[in-house]
Structure 1
Amino acid sequence: MMEGPWIILYFCCFCQLCVAQTVRPQIANPKFATNNPTLSTVALEKPFCVFDDLMSKGASYEVYLYVTVVSARSSRPYVTDNSNKPLNATFQQTNGGQSGSYRAAVFNVPNCASLPKLSDAADATKAPAVLTQYLIRVGDDTACLYDPNYLGACNPPLSADTAYRFKYVLVDQTTGVVKDQTLWSNPIKTRKLKQSSTIDTWPGRRSGGMIVITSILSVLLFVLLIGFLAAILLAAAMTSEEIPTETRYVSQTTQQAIPRPQETIELET
C-alpha cells in the first residue's frame, strides 16, 4: 500500500525532468519580431516555463544558447564534456558553427510568472523592454569578433542563406554543471541576398495587360503634347508677321504732319 504514492511521486519527477528535453527553441512570434529571420540574425523565443520545475531553491542558474550550422559534421553536436559541464567553444573555434556548436549567448532564466504581453509590445514606451524580456536575437553583436579584450559569449552575425539549429542549456552556476537542456531546434534558415538584377523595381508590380495599356496612354500623351507645342509655335509666328505692318503705317502719318521750312524763308524776303 505504501508503494503506490512513491511510484506516483517518482513518475511525476520523471515527467518534470523530461519536460525540457521535449521542447525545442522556437522562432519568435511575428507579432513581436517582424522581418525575422533577416540576412544575418534570427530572433528566438526565450524558454519561458521550461526549466522552472528543475531549479532548486537557493541555487543560481543561467541559460546558455548554442548555435550550429545544419550542414556541420554533426547536425546535433555535443554541448557538454565528459563531466557534464558546458562547452565554451567560440564562433572562431567552430568556424561559425561549421565544425560544431558554439556558445552564442548567456542570459538569466526567464520569469515564468511574468510573461510578456502582446498589448505591451504595441506601446512604444514598453516595446523595448518587452522585446528584451521575450526574445533573444542570434547574430546581433557586430563588435565582439574584433575586440581582443572581449571575454563574454560572442554572438556575431550569421551567414546569409544558411540553415542553423539552436539549443538552450540550463547551467547551475554553483556547481558549474548542466542541469538540463532542450532538444535542438528545427532548421531555421537566414534570408538569401537578392541580386540587383532580380529585384523588381516596378512599384505596382503590374500585369502584362496593365503595362501595355500604360504604354499606349504614354504614347497618346506624348502626341498631345507635341500638338500643343506646335499650336503655340504657329500662333507665335502669325503674331510676329503682323507687327511690322502696323509700324510702317504709323510712321507715314507722322511724316505728313511736319511743315516745310522753305516756305517760311520766302515770305520774309
Structure 2
Amino acid sequence: MALLLLAVLACISFCTINGQNPIQVPYVPGITPNNFPGRVTTSTFALKLPLCYFSQTLTGCTAAQCEIWLVVAQGLDGQNGFDSAKGTQLNFNVNSYQTASTSKKGFFMTKVGTQQSYPCDEPTVMQVFRVGSDSTCVAVSPTCNGPLPANTDARVKYVLYDPITSKKVEVESQWSQPILLTNVKDLASIDESFGKRSGAMVIITVVLTCLTAMLLIGLITALALTCSGVGRGKQDITAPTPLGSLRVKRYNTHNVHSPTSSTSVPNPNI
C-alpha cells in the first residue's frame, strides 16, 4: 500500500514538472498607448512586450535556447482551441498561419525571440511587437507573422516554449482582451447624403461655399473693369509746337550793383 502511494505521488510530481499545465504569470498582453502611431490597423496591431515576466529558469533549455512565442487566436473558438492543445507537443504545421483563418478553432503561433533577448531592464524607449507585419512568408512558413484578415477579433497570449527537451509550452501569460481590427467598409455602403452629415460638416460646407462664391464674384468684377477701361484710358498726347527763339534782355535789379559797374556821384562838399 505504501509503495502504491509513493508511486502515485511520484506520478503527480512528474506530471507537474513536465508541464502538463503550464505555469501562468500575472501578465495580460495589451496594445500600445493611444499616441502610438498605427497601434491598430486593418491587418496589424502593436503589442507591448512582456519584459520581466518570463525570467524563469527551465531545466530543459537555457536562456539562449528557450523561446518566447505569441499565440494569436481568432475569436473565442481559437482561444479554446489553444487551451485544449497547450499541454501536448505542439505541431506548428497543423496549427499554422495558413489554416488559422479557415479552422473553427483557428490559432497560430509566431516566434517573438529567445528568453535572453528580453532581459528585465528598464527600456529607454517603448519596445513593441507588431502582429501581422510580415507579408513575405504568407505562403511558405506555418509560423509566419502574416497580415490578419480584416475585421478580425483577435486574442493573444505570450508563452515560454521549450524547443529542446519537452517541446511544450512551459510558462504562459493570460489572454488579452479581444482586439478588434479596423473595420473595412464597402464604398457602396457609405451614405454620403446631406442628412447623414454632422452639424460641423454642414457649417464648414456652407462657409467654404460662400467664400468660393465671393472669390468668384471678385474675379469676374475685376476682369470686367479691366476690359471696360482699355479704350477709355488711351489718349493721344500732342507735343506743343515750338514758338521760335525768345530773346530776353539783360537787366539788373535796382538794388543790386556790381562794384565795377557802379557810377561815381561827385560830393558837393569837396
Shared topology, TM-score over 0.5? Answer: yes
Q: Does 1:20 align with 2:38?
A: no
**Does the aligned pair in 2 maintain the 1:66–1:79 contact within 8 Å?**
no
Kindly indicate whether residue 236 of structure 2 is the aligned counterpart of residue 229 of structure 1.
no
Task: Give the Cα separation in 2 of the matches to 1:225 and 1:208.
Answer: 26
The answer for the alignment partner of 2:172 in structure 1 is: 181
Q: Give the aligned partner of residue 137 of structure 2.
A: 144
Q: Which amino acid aligns with 1:136?
A: F
- Taking the aligned partners of 1:18 and 1:165, their CA distance within structure 2 comes to 18
> Equivalent residue for 1:11?
none
State the one-letter code of the partner of 1:156: G
* Structure 1 unaligned residues grouped into runs of 5+: 1-16, 122-130, 248-269
Contact 1:67 1:97 in 2 (8 A): no
Residue identity in the other structure for 2:220: I
1:70 to 67, 75, 82: 75
Name the amino acid aligned to 1:165.
Answer: R
Once the 2 structures are TM-superposed, how far is the Cα of residue 34 of structure 1 from its aligned partner? 1.7
CA distance in 2, matches of 1:19, 1:53: 10
Which amino acid is 1:49 matched to?
C
* CA separation of 1:136 and 1:80: change in aligned 2, threshold 3 A: farther
1:199/1:95 CA distance change after superposition, 3 Å: same
1:175-223 CA-partner distances (Å, limit 9, x unpaired): 12321112221101111235557599xxxx9553444344333323322
Partner of 2:66: 61
Determine whether 1:153 maps to 2:153: no
What is the CA–CA distance in structure 1 between the aligned matches of 2:164 and 2:222, rounded to whole Å?
Answer: 87
Q: Which residue pairs with 2:160 in the alignment?
A: 170
TM norm structure 1: 0.63
Q: Structure 1 213/186 Cα, relative in aligned 2: closer, same or farther at 3 Å? A: closer
CA spacing shift, 1:28–1:219, aligned 2, 3 Å: closer
Distance 2:86 2:207 in 1: 72
Larger Rg: 2
Deviations 1:29-86 (A, max 9, x none): 455x4221111111112221112135459733111211111154x5432257486323
1:34 aligns with 2:37: yes
3-state SS, counterpart of residue 225 of structure 1: helix
CA distance in 1, matches of 2:204, 2:168: 66
Q: Distance in 2 between matches of 1:82 and 1:209?
A: 57
Give the match for residue 102 of structure 1: 108
- Amino acid paired to 2:99: Q
Cα RMSD over matched residues?
Answer: 3.7
C-alpha distance in 2 between matches for 1:180 and 1:140: 25
- Counterpart CA distance in 1 for 2:169 and 2:22 is 14
Mapped partners of 1:235, 1:43: distance in 2 = 67
Distance 1:18 1:95 in 2: 26
State which of 112, 122, 135 in structure 2 corresponds to 1:115. Answer: 122
Q: 1:237 corresponds to which letter in structure 2?
A: G
Of residues 46-55 and 56-65 in structure 1, the stretch that sits farther from structure 2 once superposed is 56-65
Query: SS in structure 2 opposite 1:22?
Result: coil
Give the 3 Å change call, closer, same or farther, for CA 83–27 of structure 1 in structure 2: closer
For residues 241-266 of structure 1, what are the alpha-carbon distances to aligned partners after superposition, in whole Å with 9 as ceiling and x for unaligned?
Answer: x67xx99xxxxxxxxxxxxxxxxxxx
Q: Percent identity?
A: 24
Structure 2 vs 1, CA of residues 21 and 207 (structure 1 numbering), >3 Å: closer, same or farther? Answer: same
1:111 CA displacement: 3.0
Equivalent in 33, 42, 48 of residue 45 of structure 1? 48
Separation of aligned partners in 2, 1:70 and 1:115: 33
